[in-house]
Structure 1
Amino acid sequence: MARTSAGHETRERLLRAAEELFATRGVAASLTKDIVRLAGQSNPSAVQYHFGSREGLLDAIMAARQERTERALAPRLPTLAEQDLPGLLDALVTAEATELRTEQGRRCLRISAQISHNSGVRTRTPHPTLAGGGYWRLITLVEQRISGLPEPIRLERLDLALTLIGAALADRAQQYLTGSTPLTDEETFLADLVAVSAAMLSAPTPSRSTS
C-alpha cells in the first residue's frame, strides 16, 4: 500500500511540475530532465516509468483538463441540440472558462492553446481525449449550424474559431497568473468572445477576386 501511495504521489508531482513548465516555458521548450528535477525526483526515467513518454505525460495533463471541462459542460448537454450557433458557443466558452477559476486550470489553458492543432477538427478525427465526449458532440453541432458553407471553408473556419477561443482564454489565464488587470470584467470578456466567434463562423463565403 505504501508503495502504491508513493507511486501516486510521484505521479502527481510530475504532473504538477510539467503543468508549470509547459505553461511558463512552452511545451516544445520544456525538457523531460527539467520536469523530473522540478518534481524533486532523482530517477531520470521517472516520466517514462509513470507515463511511458513525455508525450504520454502531456496527454495525461490534457485528459484531466478535458475531464473537468466535460463535467462543467454536462448540465447543458440535454439542451444542446436545441441551441442556435451563439447558444452552442456560449456553452463551449462557459465550460472552457471554468478553468480560469484555479491556478492549475489557468496553466492548463496556457498549455492547451499551444496544441490546439491536435484536436482533429479539420479531419473529423478527434484526439483521444476528445473522442466520445460531450465536447466533441458540441463541436459537431457547431459545424451543423454553419452547414451552408463549403466543407473546406467550414472545417478550416471551425478549427480557427476554436484556436481563437483557446488563445483568448489562455491570454486571460496569463493575466490572472501574473496579477495583471484585464481591460474588461470576465462576464463581458466571455460574452464578447462568444459574439466574435459566432460572427467569424457565420460570415459569408468570400467571393474570389477577378482582378
Structure 2
Amino acid sequence: MRQHVRFLRQYLTSPSSVGAVWPSSQSLARALCEPYACADRPSAILEVGAGTGAVTRYLGRILRPTDQLDVCELAPAFLRVLEEEVLSDASFDRARNESRVRLIPGRVQDLPGAGRYDFVISGLPLTAFSPEDVDEVIGTVRRLIRPGGVFSYFEYVGLRRLSRWIRLGDRRRRMRRVSSRLDDMIRAHQFRRRVVLANIPPAYARHLCFDKRR
C-alpha cells in the first residue's frame, strides 16, 4: 500500500509526467514482459518510466543470467523507491553483483547510442504527452532498439476515445493529434495486443516491432 500512496502523491505533484493514479498490477507487468519472457537468446532490456517498480520487480523474477537490464526513470521520488526498495531486493543480487542491472536517472530521449536493446518496455503515459513529445519518445525508442526488437507499452482501455469527447479546446485537439499518431503506429507495427482486466483501470498491453523480422 505504501507504494500506492507514493504513486498517488507523485501524480498529484506532476500529473502530466505520471499519467496514472495507481501503479500497474502484476497482471499488466506480466503481459508487458511476455515477449521477453518467451525469448530464447541473450537479451538487453530497457525499461522506461518505471515508476514505483511494478514491472521492474517482475523483471527481477524472470531476468536470466545472460541478460542486461537498464531502468530509466525521471522522477526523483520514484528513483529513490527503485534504488532503495526495488533493485535492492534479493531477486536482483546476482545481476547487481555482475553489473547487469543499472538505474539511469533522466529522460529516455537523452540516452545515447543506437541499436542497444532487444526489448524496450515502457510505462510512460504517452496519452498525457504533447504530440511533439510522443514523436520524440517513439523516435528515441526506434533509435535504441535493435532490428527485430520489441517495443511494449500500455494504455488504458477506452481512455483515448473518452478523452476526445469530454475534453474541450486545446486539450481535445492535443488528444486527437496524439491519438492519430498512436493509431498510425499501431496499424503499422503492432503484432500482439493483450487486454488486462486485472488492472486499475483495465489496460491494453501492446507489442510492436518496427521492422519485418517478426
- Shorter chain as denominator, the TM-score bin is under 0.3
Larger % of strand: which?
Answer: 2
TM-score w.r.t. structure 1 length? 0.28
TM-score w.r.t. structure 2 length? 0.28
Larger radius of gyration: 1
Larger % of helix: which?
Answer: 1
